[in-house]
């Protein structure tokens, strides 16, 4: 059975076509990333699937009784009371049942009647049967996963910040556990730790999901297949992100080759027709002309990713790299009067370094950055900026603009010597074409504002770039262009980012905020994570993050009574014996069990390899043209689900066997 489908869907706005005959089948268990440059219609596709808008023609539907939840990119916040009240709103019936149980508990006396006790037991049994206790634990776990502490559950929703409200909306969508989960930029408002916890949640999610994201590390960790929106149609790649990138390039190359071959054939045929239409081979020429008229002409393949990435980012130092010690900040205290955030911080920055600042939301990353470049004074200590240092600062909030001015006004506020025509030519390098330079800044999208801010920084050579969340609002092509430009940049870089892929590509050192202190680590983000894992091998991936993960408390109802010390000793202690034969027998038995486990693991690894190979073949067949054979398609989809479930069981068996072997 399928969960949802697009069938030959057309949708557009006046003067703009978004979807042009798009078709897509979404199956149970699918983990899909919907990708494409900004403006290709990704959010529109999710809105169509959620029923927010209707297709012009074609069919968009959720099949059967499948439940759907939708996390919108721009949330209209809803909720009242406390945070826990808002999270339990979708479960009003269960909450009412819980309130009844609580009221009866308060009214029950020692001499309660059998009828009262029977009613109490009946309600408890119903609450348990309908998953009441499970929902409570799920809500508490999810609030921790998106970055709330247990004490936050009692906070009024009216007191939440914009970022906290975004995280609450994410938790409200996830807690429902629908059959199909739609997520538009789910990592917005999340720090690195929360993103990694969300990855862990989605890896165990029982339903299907389709997400829109520009976070490549997040896509790599969560999605099995990539759906690309290309020229108004869905193109399905049955691979993870890394293989998708390779296959997409290969597909574009094949398309270019096919176009060139057809073009050569058409040129030769037209030349033959011109030379022979009035000669002895008139009939052949006429026949070939008819063939050309019937030929389905291929269009020149334009790589929309390449076009979207054409931003003229070329950061120049002007030949002067500045002082060797670019910024000197020994033992400073960072924060605001009466509210210090970071104490005893040493953050010296040296010429040519590319330094990333990471830490949880609210830890003081932007405050530290502003202190290092002189935007804020330190509460204690001094910050010295080296001789000849010229700083280019990209503000996360993009607030250094005149909202009522035009793009031309913004550029000329930095370079008044440039004429409007020269400014228009300059802005075209940042994908502002036609009348775009005359637009008012207030009407720009987030991505457009980011490109304008970059254009302003590049007007003068800078030997130090300070970037606060520069990838916000940028699509993947623009991020790749920015990464390459920063790799080529010879000056000093200080950057705050939650994009792990970006941090891995551009940084050579990290300043990691941990509580009120800052630690310096050589290498990029993956290097730091690897060292943390090696230092604490017992920790899970989500635990090895820049913040402290709140552990759930064990309640009295969920705690299993521990055996007494006497019982524990009696259960585990082995009576002393001098019988060496028994010792040898035990050793032989352990060795036999070890060999059995090794054979079991070897067999399971073989099964997993075979299942993965067959599953890959089935998915490749599903992604190919089915020629309208829907029965075959459903048969393949059923087989895919069977293989996926069997693979999951085999993997679980392998993990159990491997754990048993490790204990021996």
pLDDT value at 372 more than 90: yes
What is residue 330's predicted lDDT score, i.e. its pLDDT? 93
Partners of 211 in the β-ladder: 33, 183
Residues whose CB falls within 8 Å of the CB of residue 285, separated by 6 or more in sequence, listed in order: 272, 273, 275, 276, 277, 279
Please check whether residue 372 is in contact with residue 349, taking contact to mean a CB–CB distance below 8 angstroms: yes
Mean pLDDT across the chain: 82
pLDDT top residue among 636 and 349: 349
What is residue 575's predicted lDDT score, i.e. its pLDDT? 42
DSSP-assigned letters across all residues of 117-166: HHHHHHHHHHHHHTTHHHHHHHHHHHHHHTT--GGGGGSBGGG--HHHHH
How far, rounded to the nearest angstrom, does the alpha carbon of residue 631 sit from its chain's CA centroid? 35
What is residue 318's predicted lDDT score, i.e. its pLDDT? 82
Q: What is the mean pLDDT of residues 559-563?
A: 35
* pLDDT grade for 468, boundaries at 50, 70 and 90: very high
Please check whether residue 447 is in contact with residue 478, taking contact to mean a CB–CB distance below 8 angstroms: yes
Any idea of the CA torsion for 11, 12, 17, 23, to the nearest 10 degrees?
-10
Q: Which of 293-297, 484-488, 512-516 has the lowest mean pLDDT?
A: 293-297
> Which of the residue ranges 87-91, 498-502, 573-577, 639-643 has the most confident prediction, judged by mean pLDDT?
498-502
Residues whose CB falls within 8 Å of the CB of residue 59, separated by 6 or more in sequence, listed in order: 5, 6, 7, 8, 9
Please check whether residue 238 is in contact with residue 245, taking contact to mean a CB–CB distance below 8 angstroms: no
Residue 598: how many CB atoms within 10 A of its CB? 12
What is residue 574's predicted lDDT score, i.e. its pLDDT? 40
Q: What is the mean pLDDT of residues 337-345?
A: 92
pLDDT in tens, 181-217: 999 999 988 889 889 989 988 988 989 999 999 999 9
How far, rounded to the nearest angstrom, does the alpha carbon of residue 322 sit from its chain's CA centroid? 37
How far is residue 91's CA from residue 16's CA, in Å, rounded to a whole number? Answer: 41
Of 492, 471, 498, the C-alpha closest to 482 is 471
* pLDDT grade for 218, boundaries at 50, 70 and 90: very high
What is residue 282's predicted lDDT score, i.e. its pLDDT? 83
DSSP structural state of residue 548:
P
pLDDT value at 26 more than 90: yes
Q: What is the mean pLDDT of residues 143-157?
A: 83
Residues whose CB falls within 8 Å of the CB of residue 25, separated by 6 or more in sequence, listed in order: 2, 5, 622, 633, 637
Please check whether residue 658 is in contact with residue 591, taking contact to mean a CB–CB distance below 8 angstroms: no
How far is residue 662's CA from residue 506's CA, in Å, rounded to a whole number? Answer: 38
What is residue 110's predicted lDDT score, i.e. its pLDDT? 60
Q: What is the mean pLDDT of residues 52-67?
A: 91
pLDDT value at 235 more than 60: yes
Query: To 5 degrees, how large is the angle CA 365–CA 376–CA 321?
Result: 80
pLDDT value at 506 more than 90: yes
pLDDT in tens, 269-297: 888 888 887 777 788 888 888 888 888 88
Q: What is the mean pLDDT of residues 391-403?
A: 78
pLDDT over 90 percentage in the chain: 34
Helix (H) or strand (E) holding 631: helix 630-662
Describe the chain by its helix, strand, coil percentages, rounded to 5. Answer: 50, 15, 35
Q: Which of 5-19, 57-71, 307-321 has the lowest mean pLDDT?
A: 307-321
What is residue 77's predicted lDDT score, i.e. its pLDDT? 58
Q: What is the mean pLDDT of residues 314-324?
A: 84
What is residue 531's predicted lDDT score, i.e. its pLDDT? 86
Of 155, 202, 153, the C-alpha closest to 174 is 202
* pLDDT grade for 52, boundaries at 50, 70 and 90: very high
Q: Which of 59-73, 116-130, 336-350 has the lowest mean pLDDT?
A: 116-130
For the record, the structure tokens of 341 come out as 């955030």
Please check whether residue 129 is in contact with residue 123, taking contact to mean a CB–CB distance below 8 angstroms: no
Of 305, 310, 297, the C-alpha closest to 248 is 305
Count of positions (residues) in the chain: 664
Task: Spell out the alpha helix ranges (H) of 406-561.
Answer: 407-414, 420-428, 446-457, 476-488, 500-506, 525-535
How far is residue 244's CA from residue 228's CA, in Å, rounded to a whole number? Answer: 10
pLDDT value at 541 more than 50: no
For the record, the structure tokens of 32 come out as 């899909």
Q: What is the mean pLDDT of residues 569-580?
A: 43
Please check whether residue 240 is in contact with residue 223, taking contact to mean a CB–CB distance below 8 angstroms: yes
Q: Which of 253-257, 288-292, 323-327, 581-585 has the lowest mean pLDDT?
A: 581-585
DSSP-assigned letters across all residues of 36-73: -STTSSHHHHHHHHHTSS--SEEEEEE-TT--EEEE-S
Partners of 124 in the β-ladder: none
Q: Which of 164-178, 336-350, 563-577, 623-637 has the lowest mean pLDDT?
A: 563-577
DSSP-assigned letters across all residues of 211-234: EE---HHHHHHH-SEEEEEETTEE
pLDDT in tens, 607-640: 777 787 888 787 777 666 655 565 566 567 667 7
Of 490, 530, 480, 534, the C-alpha closest to 510 is 530
Q: What is the mean pLDDT of residues 340-348?
A: 93
pLDDT value at 400 more than 90: no
Please check whether residue 142 is in contact with residue 201, taking contact to mean a CB–CB distance below 8 angstroms: yes
What separation in angstroms does the CA of 531 have from each of 29, 220, 269, 443, 523? 34, 21, 64, 45, 10
What is residue 551's predicted lDDT score, i.e. its pLDDT? 32
How far is residue 480's CA from residue 470's CA, in Å, rounded to a whole number? Answer: 12
Residue 337: CA count within 13 A, CB half-sphere: 0
pLDDT value at 508 more than 70: yes
What is residue 583's predicted lDDT score, i.e. its pLDDT? 67
pLDDT top residue among 32 and 150: 32
pLDDT value at 425 more than 80: yes
What is residue 76's predicted lDDT score, i.e. its pLDDT? 57
Please check whether residue 510 is in contact with residue 356, taking contact to mean a CB–CB distance below 8 angstroms: yes
How far is residue 583's CA from residue 268's CA, in Å, rounded to a whole number? Answer: 88
What separation in angstroms does the CA of 405 have from each of 213, 399, 443? 31, 13, 10
What is residue 629's predicted lDDT score, i.e. its pLDDT? 60
For the record, the structure tokens of 98 come out as 């819980």
* pLDDT grade for 579, boundaries at 50, 70 and 90: low
pLDDT in tens, 433-458: 888 899 998 888 777 888 888 888 88
Q: What is the mean pLDDT of residues 346-356?
A: 93
DSSP structural state of residue 82:
B
């Amino acid at each position: 059975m399928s969960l949802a489908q697009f069938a030959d869907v057309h949708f557009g706005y006046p003067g703009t076509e978004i979807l042009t005959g798009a078709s897509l089948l979404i199956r149970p268990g699918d983990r899909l990333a919907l990708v494409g440059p900004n403006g290709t219609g990704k959010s529109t596709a999710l809105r169509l699937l959620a029923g927010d808008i209707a297709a012009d023609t074609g069919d968009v539907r959720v099949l059967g009784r499948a439940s759907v939840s939708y996390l919108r990119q721009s949330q209209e916040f809803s909720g009242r009371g406390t945070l826990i009240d808002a999270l339990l709103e979708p479960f009003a019936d269960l909450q009412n049942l819980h309130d009844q149980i609580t009221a009866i508990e308060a009214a029950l006396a020692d001499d309660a009647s059998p009828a009262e006790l029977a009613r109490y037991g009946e309600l408890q049994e119903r609450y348990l049967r309908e998953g009441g206790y499970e929902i409570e634990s799920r809500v508490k776990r999810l609030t921790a996963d998106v970055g709330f502490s247990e004490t936050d559950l009692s906070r009024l929703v009216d007191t939440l910040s914009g970022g906290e409200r975004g995280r609450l909306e994410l938790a409200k969508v996830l807690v429902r556990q629908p059959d199909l989960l739609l997520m538009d930029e789910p990592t917005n408002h999340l720090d690195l730790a929360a993103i990694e916890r969300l990855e862990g949640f989605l890896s165990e999610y029982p339903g299907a999901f389709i997400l829109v994201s520009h976070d490549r590390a997040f896509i790599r960790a969560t999605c099995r297949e990539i759906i690309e929106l290309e020229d108004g149609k869905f193109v399905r790649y049955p691979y993870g992100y890394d293989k998708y990138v390779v296959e997409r390039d290969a597909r574009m190359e094949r398309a270019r080759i096919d176009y060139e071959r057809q073009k050569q054939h058409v040129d030769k045929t037209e030349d033959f027709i011109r030379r022979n239409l009035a000669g002895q081979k008139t009939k052949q020429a006429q026949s070939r002309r008819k063939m050309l008229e019937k030929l389905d002409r291929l269009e020149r393949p334009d790589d929309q990713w390449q076009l979207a990435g054409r931003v003229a980012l070329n950061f120049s130092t002007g030949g002067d790299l500045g002082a060797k010690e670019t910024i000197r900040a020994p033992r400073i205290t960072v924060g605001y009067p009466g509210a210090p955030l970071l104490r005893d911080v040493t953050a010296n920055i040296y010429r040519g370094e590319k330094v990333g600042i990471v830490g949880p939301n609210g830890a003081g990353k932007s405050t530290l950055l502003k202190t290092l470049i002189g935007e804020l004074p330190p509460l204690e200590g001094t910050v010295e900026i080296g001789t000849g240092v010229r700083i280019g600062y990209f503000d996360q909030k993009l607030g250094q603009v005149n909202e009522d001015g035009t793009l031309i006004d913004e550029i000329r506020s930095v370079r008044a010597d440039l004429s409007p025509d020269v400014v228009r030519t300059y802005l075209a390098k940042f994908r502002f074409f036609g009348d775009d330079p005359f637009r008012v800044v207030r009407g720009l999208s987030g991505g457009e504002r980011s490109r304008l801010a970059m254009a302003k920084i590049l007007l003068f050579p800078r030997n130090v770039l300070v970037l606060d969340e520069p990838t916000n609002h940028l699509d993947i092509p623009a991020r790749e262009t920015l990464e390459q430009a920063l790799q080529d940049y010879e000056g000093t870089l200080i950057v705050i980012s939650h994009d792990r892929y970006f941090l891995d590509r551009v940084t050579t050192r990290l300043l990691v905020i941990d509580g009120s202190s800052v630690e310096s680590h050589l290498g990029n983000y993956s290097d730091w994570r690897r060292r943390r894992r090696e230092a604490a091998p017992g920790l899970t991936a989500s635990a090895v993050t820049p913040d402290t993960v709140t552990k759930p408390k064990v309640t009295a109802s969920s705690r299993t009574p521990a055996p007494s010390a006497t019982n524990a000793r009696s259960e585990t202690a082995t009576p002393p014996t001098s019988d060496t034969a028994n010792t040898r027998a035990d050793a032989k038995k352990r060795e036999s069990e070890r060999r059995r486990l090794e054979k079991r693991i070897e067999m399971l690894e073989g099964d997993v390899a075979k299942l993965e190979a067959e599953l890959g073949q089935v998915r490749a067949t599903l992604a190919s043209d089915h020629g309208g054979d829907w029965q075959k398609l459903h048969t393949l989809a059923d087989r895919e689900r069977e293989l996926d479930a069997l693979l999951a069981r085999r993997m679980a068996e392998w993990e159990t066997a491997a754990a048993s072997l490790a204990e021996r």
